[in-house]
């Protein structure tokens, strides 16, 4: 079997730190799906605007490595307890394939790239290869009675995010709200919770530095000219 990318997604995430650990946790983030030339036929997405959400099948392109491990250490369990790789959504898999549900915000006609899909809630690094796109079907894909295993243990835990008026003004209301939601997901390494450590989350080229004291994250500085 041979597969190739049909598209690439462009997001505000230039580095892995800060990307939500699941899709749909921060709907405010926006991505652009640009099809490869071989797949830019307008009929390929005919009718897609009738759906509110899509499934993306994609490549953990920054996690390719030789071999695989039977167990992984999920952040949900503090990064120290091991579970089976197939009982997790770890990116370190025998085949580095990701699955994300995103919200379809718009379908644009781009003069250069043809049909471009604008989506919200993606958990994917900028430039991630996309292998397939499928409509999300509520009657088949939604199972409210499903059990979430250990993934449910911290699902409602979020940080409270604060910042001074000067930083809020520097970021602008919409951008501040978006990065606040990203920080609220607590992107820190699971076993490093040092209240003196300053973390830096880069989104849309802006490095937002913050500290965490208990359950409160305080944005301390922003760098709009950040280079990875």
Residue 151 confidence class, pLDDT cut points 50, 70, 90: confident
pLDDT at res. 199: 95
pLDDT at res. 163: 96
For residue 48, how many other CB atoms are within 10 A of its CB? 14
Mean of pLDDT values over 138-143: 95
Which residues are registered as beta bridge partners of 106?
118
Annotated domain spans of the chain: 7-61+96-141, 160-223
- The burial class, CB within 10 Å (0-12 / 13-18 / 19+), for 28 is middle
Percent of residues, the chain, with pLDDT higher than 90: 75
Among 3-7, 70-74, 103-107, 181-185, which stretch is predicted with the lowest mean pLDDT?
Answer: 70-74
pLDDT at res. 77: 76
pLDDT at res. 37: 97
β-pair type (160-163, 216-223): parallel
Q: What is the mean pLDDT of the chain?
A: 92
Structure tokens at 10: 């462009």
Gap between the Cα atoms of 113 and 115, Å rounded: 6
**What is the tens place of the pLDDT at every residue in 30-49?**
999 999 999 999 999 999 99
Percent of residues, the chain, with pLDDT higher than 70: 96
pLDDT at res. 194: 80
Phi/psi of residue 140, nearest 5 degrees: -105, -30
**Is the CATH number of domain 7-61+96-141 1.10.3720.10?**
no
Residue 153 has pLDDT above 80, yes or no: no
**What is the tens place of the pLDDT at every residue in 59-89?**
998 878 888 889 988 877 777 789 999 998 8
Phi/psi of residue 11, nearest 5 degrees: -130, 180
Give the full edge-to-edge strand order of the sheet including 216-223: 160-163, 216-223, 206-213, 199-203
**pTM score over 0.85:** yes
Q: Looking up tokens 């946790």, which residue turns up?
A: 25
Closest by CA position to 193, among listed 210, 212, 209:
212
């Amino acid at each position: 079997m041979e597969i190739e990318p049909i598209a690439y997604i462009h997001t505000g995430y230039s580095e892995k730190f800060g990307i939500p650990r699941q899709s749909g946790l921060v709907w405010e983030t926006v991505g652009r799906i640009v099809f490869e030339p071989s797949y830019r036929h307008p009929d390929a997405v005919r009718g897609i605007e009738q759906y509110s959400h899509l499934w993306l099948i994609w490549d953990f392109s920054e996690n390719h490595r030789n071999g695989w491990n039977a167990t992984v250490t999920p952040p949900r369990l503090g990064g120290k307890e091991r579970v089976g790789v197939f009982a997790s959504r770890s990116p370190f898999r025998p085949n580095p394939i990701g699955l994300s549900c995103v919200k379809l915000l718009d379908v644009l006609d781009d003069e250069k790239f043809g049909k471009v899909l604008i989506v919200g809630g993606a958990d994917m690094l900028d430039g991630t290869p996309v292998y397939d796109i499928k409509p999300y079907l509520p009657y088949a894909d939604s199972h409210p009675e499903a059990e979430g295993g250990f993934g449910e243990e911290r699902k409602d835990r979020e940080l409270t995010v604060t910042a001074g008026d000067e930083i809020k003004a520097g970021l602008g209301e919409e951008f501040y709200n978006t990065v606040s939601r990203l920080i609220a997901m607590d992107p820190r390494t699971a076993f490093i919770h040092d209240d003196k450590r300053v973390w830096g989350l880069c989104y849309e080229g802006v490095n937002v530095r913050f500290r965490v004291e208990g359950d409160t994250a305080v944005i301390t500085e922003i760098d709009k000219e950040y280079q990875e």
